[in-house]
Amino acid sequence: MSTRLSRGGRLIDRSKPMNFTFNGKRLRGFAGDTLASALLGADQMLVGRSFKYHRPRGIVASGVEEPNALLGLGRGARFEPDQRATTTELFEGADTASQNHWPSLDFDVGVVNNWAYRFLPAGFYYKTFMFPRVAWKHLFEPVIRRSAGLGRAPVDRDGDRYEQAYAFCDVLVAGGGVAGLAAALQAARAGKRVMVLEQTPHWGGRAPVDGGTIDGKPVADWIKSAVQDLERMSNVTLRNRCMVAGVHDHGHVIGYERVADHTPGDGRPRHRLWRIRAGEIISATGAIERPLAFAGNDVPGVMLASAVRDYVVNFAVSPGDRTVIVTNNDDAYRTAFALIDAGLIVAAIVDARPSATGDLVQKARARGIRVLEGRGIAKVKGTKRVTGVQICAQAGEGAALEDIACDCVAMSGGWSPVVHLWSHCGGKLIWDEARACFRPDATRPPTGDQGQPMVRAVGAANGALTLPEVLADAGGPAADAPAEGPIAAVWVMPQGAPDALRFKAFLDYQNDVKVSDVQLAAREGYTSVEHTKRYTTLGMATDQGKLSNINGLAVLSDALGQPIPATGTTTFRPPYEPISFGAIAGEARGEIFQPLRRTPMHDWHASQGAHWEPVGLWRRPYCYLRTGEGLQDAVRREIRNTRNAVGLLDASTLGKILVKGPDAGRFLDMMYTNMMSTLPVGKCRYGLMCNENGFLMDDGVVVRLSEDSWLCHTTSGGADRIHAHMEDWLQCEWWDWKVYTANLTEQFAQVAVVGPNARKLLEKLGGMDVSKEALPFMTWAEGTLGGVRARVFRISFSGELSYEIAVPASEGMAFWTRFLEAGADLGVMPYGTEALHVMRAEKGFIMIGDETDGTVIPQDLGLGWAISKKKADYIGKRAQERSHMASPDRWQLVGLETLDGSVLPDGVHAAAPGHNANGQRNVQGRVTSTYFSPTLNKGIAMGLVHRGPARMGEVLDFPVGADKVVQARIVDPVFYDKEGEKGNV
């Protein structure tokens, strides 16, 4: 049993009991508990089932390295899966549940996998993918989906809020243990701006549990005074519950602060993501104890030796009445003393070393603890809980020497420095033979923007594993602790364990990877540690192999017959521990996920039933819905009204870039395929813009405002991109040309007045002569229209008589209202983007993004007329001279008319005879725009077809489903008013 002891517990407050539930069972813990210590205190050792074999699993560790105790926490909008019980603080009313079992934690049918060890070996998934597809689909996947996976995803919208903050410092100390505190004091006393981030709620790390003296004081006293000193200094910021998740380029550090995980619903943000720019980063992240690989090392009750003493000392929790300690080093002996001091029984210390003689070993013997030298554990007995261990000779093959009854096994395979932060930006490691660990190589640190060392590791994170070494390494005062004897590099127990034992000796608990899996991978030819990792999934679970990686690569090295440093480690990547998506998103969700750009008439559209269409960061009315109308009804009404009376379009989103200067004409001749320098003042010209690769990237009407200035209209949403494109060429290629550009998009509201009554409407507003004679097609005039300063452009995107009128943005709404009032008896009605699109398609006008996709040149679209033959150069000209661009063998723009009048699905391909190398039908074209035309009362489409314009009248097959083919005839893309009489009035 695991129980709460009647005395002790340095981190709990017995005066504040807290209620919580586990799988619906009501349990009790104390303020200061973690979920793990509270569960253990309530005798709940079994907390989950393993990922692959569904073996019962218990709590193994006491910190971030815990692989098993992942729980679902909370309900509804506060439900979160995969919360690590060892790092989650208990709070009143915590609602926890185990994961990955079916139907219940105690009885799980998935445990059948347990019998199938030999059928789920390393590389199971890869091997299974090689099976016939049908076997995967019907046999493996349903079973795996049912039984595998960690917690379930939340269903409700997250009920918490999150925030992000920025900070800057000279020295950032990651880790508030004794090494971090000592390093912080040193930097702070030198006048540096220091930030100290500690992932737990407590300062001092594990030193108070392990004991010793610093500066002649017990460690706890020294920690207290060090924290007080730091708190008093104005150049120091201390933050606990704040983990350094990652070290990134140029001293950029991500901190993850769990502000209110332990006080849910108190109104504070749950998590805060810190983006810190640090001059230097001190990695004082400590070390993590390694398990040992012996058969049954995953049975609930087998724990890390350090975790056992953490639970006893910090939380007054006894993981078991009778403990066997198994170790290859002296440090684990501290666990024996902690247990005995708490009145518990240590049945034996099983030491794999042939001879153990350190101070702690002597002390254990002196206290009458049974120490077995040169011994190992052959196997653990028990399934849901340890009942005993079988002892064998470490040097042998597992022959049982004796059985020892126990309900807890405390194991220690030595310590691995937490080198993650050192490694994130490329710091290199060396193998320390004496300490049997990888530690930072100070001669090859990660470097910053000036090539300077960016991270310094101190204390246990640097391989200094004893208290005196830690303080010396961190620049702190002298410390004292018992001298420790050398560790033995033991990874597997016993050394010659046969298959039967290796099949049950786990390396990675969370992903169920065993010693036998890594050995099998080596036999199958996996020699790279990175490949072995992916093949076996070792270290790929949510704990990222914090317990398993070093043991795994030691086993791999042994199987490959090479030293550990020759095998090397896998790559350490941020984040150090999983961080919440909420923290990453911060405040950017819902309405402020991204900025919304509004035209001056935006609110009016909303009040008139606008159905919105996102266009870049703008939102434009797709159509205006009237009571009882569907989208299609509204679009057709708007089109008919525009073609028969007069429609209003809010065209304010069109990009408007002013290009001005003595060299502006010359510059625009390079930007556009057409000649813009010769455009007379007062005239408009439709222009095409290509990129240097020759492909069409934007189009729009260019207006000559004056001798030295042009106004370039771009597509809606394209203004920023095109403005940047212009600036790029001006600044980086033709920097001596005298040209200025300004993006005026938001300075003007623009209204398109379209339809046979358009001129009458403008005349009703009055103030400008907009007659055919005074303002012919493709000209513009400036004046006062309806009392508002306006530029009137006689241009059309619908084929109708049409004016686009720009007025200052501040007067846009008033101007719009004036049209509505004046036009009531002319049938004025607003229309949206869908009506705009249908009307332009009826006229065969192309749309950037529909007819173009970054692989289309203007020549493909019948726009050769807009490409100047006279110009020596323009952006894209050279590219268009390439043989395959000039070839007639391209897909080119045509109209498509279905034989049955139906509307072709968007994007469908025209079939061609034969099949390609992948067994797919060959294709000879595709649909780029397709609509129902209310004007023509039938489906119309545009598409790109191989040599299309030369194939007028030909009928193509468009497969639109499994067995359905729609036939369409190649026609002229101009479906409506081919002669252009409508607009020429």
Partner 1 sequence: MLTLTCPYCGVKAEETELAPGGEAHLKRSGPGSSDEEFESYLFARKNPKGVHFERWRHSYGCGKWFLAARCTATLEVFGTYPAQTPAPTPDILAAIKAKRPEWEGYE
Measured from the CB atom, the residue of 15 and 731 that comes closer to partner 1 is 731
Q: How far is Cα 513 from Cα 500, in angstroms, rounded to an integer?
A: 15
Which residue stretch of 220-228, 640-648, 878-886, 941-949 sits at the interface with partner 1 (rule: CB under 8 A)? 878-886
The helix, strand and coil proportions of the chain, stated in percent and rounded to the nearest 5, come to 25, 30, 45
Q: Which two tokens stand for residue 384?
A: 């849901």
d(C-alpha 508, C-alpha 539), whole Å: 6
Distance in angstroms (rounded) separating the CA atoms of residues 518 and 507: 9
Dist. CA 753–CA 795, nearest whole Å: 10
Q: Using CB under 8 A, which of the segments 210-218, 232-240, 874-882, 961-969 binds partner 1?
A: 874-882
- The answer to whether residues 926 and 894 touch, using CB atoms and an 8 Å cutoff, is no
Q: Which residue has the tokens 């952006």?
A: 875
Q: How far is the CB of 451 from partner 1 (least distance, A)?
A: 4
Distance CA 406, CA 414 (A): 22
Residue 594 within binding range of partner 1, rule CB under 8 A: no
965 binds partner 1 (CB under 8 A): no
Which one of 6-14, 365-373, 704-712, 721-729 is the stretch in contact with partner 1 (CB under 8 A)?
721-729
Q: Render 611-628 in DSSP notation, one character per residue.
A: EEEEETTEEEEEEEPPTT
Residue with token string 């992942």: 70
| The one segment of 90-98, 224-232, 259-267, 727-735 that binds partner 1 by CB under 8 A | 727-735
Please, which residue, 789 or 877, has the CB nearer to partner 1? 877
575 is a contact residue toward partner 1 (CB under 8 A):
no
444 binds partner 1 (CB under 8 A): no
Site for partner 1 in 213-252 (CB under 8 A): 248-250, 252
Note whether 375 and 392 are within 8 A (CB).
Answer: yes
Choice between 181 and 690, CB closer to partner 1:
690
Judged by beta carbon, residue 111 or residue 885, the one nearer partner 1 is: 885
Closer by beta carbon to partner 1, 277 or else 381: 277
731 contributes a contact to partner 1 by CB under 8 A = yes
Nearest to 447 by CA among 247, 193, 256, 285: 247
Shortest approach of partner 1 to residue 275 CB, angstroms? Answer: 8
Binding of partner 1 at residue 447 (CB under 8 A)? yes
- The answer to whether 724 contacts partner 1 (rule: CB under 8 A) is yes
Q: What are phi and psi of 501, to 5 degrees?
A: -80, -40
Name the residue with tokens 């990134």.
248
| Nearer of residues 336 and 455 to partner 1, judged by Cβ | 455
Judged by CB, which is closer to partner 1: 454, or 639?
454
652 pairs with which residues across the strands? none
Nearer to partner 1, 449 or 963 (CB): 449
Is residue 603 part of the contact set for partner 1 (CB under 8 A)? no
Query: In the block, which residue shows the tokens 């090539």?
Result: 451
Least distance (Å) between residue 883 CB and partner 1: 9
Token pair for 412: 């220690």
Among the residue ranges 120-128, 220-228, 448-456, 554-562, the one whose residues contact partner 1 (CB under 8 A): 448-456
Please tell me whether residue 450 binds partner 1 under the rule CB under 8 A: yes
Residue (136 or 729) nearer to partner 1, CB: 729
Tokens of 445: 């640190």
Considering the complex, state which of residue 455 and residue 753 has its C-beta at the smaller distance from partner 1: 455
Examine residue 534 and tell whether it contacts partner 1 (CB under 8 A). no
176 Cβ contact list (under 8 Å, min separation 6): 184, 196, 197, 198, 200, 203, 204, 205, 238, 240, 284
d(CA 67, CA 65): 6
How far is 662 from 455, CA to CA, in rounded Å?
Answer: 54
**Of the two residues 667 and 845, which places its CB atom closer to partner 1 in the complex?**
667
Q: Is 727 an interacting residue with respect to partner 1 (CB under 8 A)? A: yes
If the CB atoms of residues 134 and 872 are measured against partner 1, the closer one turns out to be 872
Alpha-carbon span 351 to 369, nearest angstrom: 12
Look at residues 317, 297, 271, 298 and name the one whose alpha carbon lies nearest to residue 69: 298
Query: Which CB atom, from 250 or from 531, has the smaller least distance to partner 1?
Result: 250
Beta carbon of residue 254, minimum distance to partner 1 (angstroms, whole number): 10
Residue of the chain from 693, 709, 779, 868 that contacts partner 1 (CB under 8 A):
693
Q: Tell me: does residue 666 bind partner 1 (CB under 8 A).
A: no
Q: How far is the CB of 698 from partner 1 (least distance, A)?
A: 18
Q: How far is the CB of 452 from partner 1 (least distance, A)?
A: 9
How far is the C-alpha of 177 from the C-alpha of 195, rounded, in Å? 14
- Chain mean position to CA 305: 36
d(CA 925, CA 947): 9
| Nearest-approach distance from CB 880 to partner 1, in angstroms | 9
* Shortest reach from residue 267's CB to partner 1, in Å: 30
591, 735, 919, 981: which one binds partner 1 (CB under 8 A):
735
Nearest CA to 502 among 520, 480, 486?
520
Count of residues near partner 1 by CB under 8 A: 27
Say whether 404 sits in a helix, a strand or coil.
strand
For position 878 contacting partner 1 by CB under 8 A, the verdict is yes
CB of 251 to partner 1, least distance (A): 8
From the CA atom positions of the chain, what is the Rg in Å? 37
Q: Which is nearer to partner 1, 137 or 882 (CB)?
A: 882
Q: CA-to-CA distance for 577 and 537, rounded, in angstroms?
A: 18
As a whole number of angstroms, the distance between CA 696 and CA 857 comes to 5
Q: Which one of residues 103, 132, 368, 451 is an interface residue with partner 1 (CB under 8 A)? A: 451
Query: Least CB distance from residue 310 to partner 1, whole Å?
Result: 36
Give the count of beta carbons closer than 10 Å to the beta carbon of residue 847: 17
Judging by DSSP bridges, how do beta strands 345-351 and 287-289 pair with one another?
A: unpaired
Pairing of β 217-218 and β 213-214: antiparallel
State which residue, 39 or 875, has the beta carbon closest to partner 1.
Answer: 875
Angle between helix 305-315 and helix 333-341 axes, rounded to 10 deg? 30
Q: Near partner 1 by CB under 8 A, which window of 644-652, 750-758, 780-788, 870-878?
A: 870-878
Sequence-ordered strand ranges (E) for 113-192: 162-174
Cβ closest to partner 1, residue 90 vs residue 719? 719
- For the record, the structure tokens of 580 come out as 């919440």
Interacting residues with partner 1 between 371 and 430 (CB under 8 A) = 426
633 contacts partner 1 (rule: CB under 8 A): no
Query: Residue 760 CB, nearest distance to partner 1 (Å)?
Result: 45
What contacts 189, CB < 8 A, 6 or more positions away? none
DSSP state, residue 490: -
Between residues 91 and 274, which has the closer beta carbon with respect to partner 1? 274
Name the phi and psi angles at 230, rounded to 5: -65, -40
Smallest distance, partner 1 to C-beta of residue 55, A: 42
Dihedral sign, CA of 380, 381, 382, 383?
positive
Interatomic CA distance for residues 34 and 316, integer angstroms:
12
Span of 64-72, 466-474, 725-733, 744-752 interacting with partner 1 by CB under 8 A: 725-733
Residue 954 near partner 1 by CB under 8 A: no
* Complex with partner 1: residue 3 or 164, whichever CB lies closer: 164
Stretch that binds partner 1, among 337-345, 600-608, 729-737, 792-800 (CB under 8 A): 729-737
By CB under 8 A, tell whether 732 contacts partner 1: yes
- 728: contact with partner 1 by CB under 8 A: yes
884 binds partner 1 (CB under 8 A): no
Task: Enumerate binding residues for partner 1 (CB under 8 A).
Answer: 248-250, 252, 277, 426, 447-451, 692-693, 724, 727-728, 731-733, 735, 872-873, 877-879, 881-882
